[in-house]
Amino acid sequence: MKILMVCLGNICRSPLAEGILRHLSDQRSLGWEIDSAGTGNWHVGHPPDPRSVKVAGLHGIDISGLRGRQFQAEDFDTFDRIFVMDLDNYRDVLRKARSDADRGKVQLLLEHQQPVPDPWYDDALFEPVYKLIFSACERIVRNS
């Protein structure tokens, strides 16, 4: 299974999601390939936000080596499932879809159309965002 996590900047939420899902996949020897990308291009080549690196580290997950990249249409060819953090990401990813098969790969990470809040402007959101993403990744692993 190849899974892509997508947010806006690829420095706060989706690197956390990538690190967490890789951690859970490795624990269970699932052999999944996991990556992340942003719909925007401001942080291409940048490491994750230090606040995401910190909260992941507090939970025993090292995401410091990840680097930002922008989502591209070819990602639909590479990945089986594409999880987006919010409805803006959903719209931006679907805009690049070329077929119903592409569109069918995309879903929100959380259930019930809930967004993962963007913690960029609020330091206090990183821990709750970590927990939301962790629960969602546990559900993905459990249901696969």
Active site residues: 7, 13, 118
Least distance between ligand 4NP and beta carbon 68 (Å): 8
State which of positions 22-81 bind ligand 4NP (CB under 6 A).
42
Q: Helices marked H in 1-144 — which ranges? A: 13-27, 50-58, 75-78, 87-95, 100-103, 126-142
Based on the shown chain and the rule CB under 6 A, indicate whether residue 11 belongs to the binding site for ligand 4NP.
Answer: yes
Q: Is 10 near ligand 4NP (CB under 6 A)?
A: yes
> Token match 């090292």: residue?
62
**With respect to ligand 4NP, which residue has the nearer C-beta, 76 or 86?**
86
Q: Does 7 bind ligand 4NP (CB under 6 A)?
A: yes
Residues 6+ apart with CB under 8 A from 11: 38, 43, 46, 47, 48, 49, 52, 68
Q: Which residue is nearest to ligand 4NP (CB)?
A: 9
Q: Is 118 in the site for ligand 4NP (CB under 6 A)?
A: yes
Alpha-carbon Rg for the chain, nearest whole angstrom, is 14
Angstrom distance (rounded) from CA 135 to CA 123: 20
CA distance 91 to 29: 33
Q: Which of 4, 5, 9, 24 binds ligand 4NP (CB under 6 A)?
A: 9
Judged by CB, which is closer to ligand 4NP: 42, or 77? Answer: 42
